[in-house]
Amino acid sequence: RRSEETADLLAEKSRVAEEEAMLLSQKASEAEQEITRIRLNNMKTEEEKVHLERKTREAELLTERLVQESERRAAEAEKLKDELLRARIAEKEAKEKLLEFLSRNAYTSAITPVPNLFPSTQVLPSDLQADLQTLQLDADPLQSDLTSYDLIADGDVDQLSLEIEKERVDYWEKSKHLQEQLRELRSEIEVMKVGEKQCELDQLHEEQVRLGENKYSTLKKVKSGSTKARVAFFEEL
């Protein structure tokens, strides 16, 4: 009977040992899977961080180029506006001189005595009279053209000013949009950095829990042992 009890005890111990072995194997497998998951998560986090940092640098460069391009185009627009104004002024002066010249010639022709080439009539030939009338009639259209030219020139300048202002607004809106994107990217990077730090702390806590550590056991270890051991313990934390 005693031998039967001994056999039963041995069988029970064998069963318990087998269950413990299976449990330990399962725990080891779970621990290995967790380590693999943490490594993959760290790799993914690092890749995302690198990707976001690259996007941030690209956004900063793009914003800088946009600002430079905006300043360059604004300077070009101002230069074109000045050149247009100078050209319109020069054209206006040229037309005024032409009008003055034609008016003076017409007035001179009207008051200058006709040479006594036709003593019987004392009048100009018909072809000269026609030329004189043409010069006199042309003076009023020139003055009208000059007035309409002033209106056209002012219209061109106003249109150019509107186009310049529109370009400035467009570039300002694009620059503002890029700046907002840049702030969002930086915020995402900061969140990832905090998450990565928190993940490291969580891993440390899980490791301490796995080893059965808590604040009471930690205090107990700190109080026990030599000073050198205490320093070494703190360095390990």
pLDDT digits (tens, 9 = 90+) for 29-74: 777 777 777 777 777 777 777 877 787 787 778 777 777 777 777 7
Residue ranges of domains in the chain: 2-184
- Alpha-carbon gap, residue 175 to 66, rounded angstroms: 7
The structure tokens 């036709």 sit at 118
Q: What is the pLDDT of residues 90-126, one digit of tens each?
A: 878 888 888 888 777 765 655 554 444 444 444 445 5
pTM of the entire predicted model: 0.39
Amino acid, single-letter form, for residue 149:
Y
224 CB-contact burial (10 Å; exposed 0-12 / middle 13-18 / buried 19+): exposed
What are the C-alpha distances in Å from 21 to residues 14, 15, 28, 97, 210?
Answer: 10, 10, 10, 113, 18
Closest C-alpha among 195, 236, 233, 209 to residue 34: 209
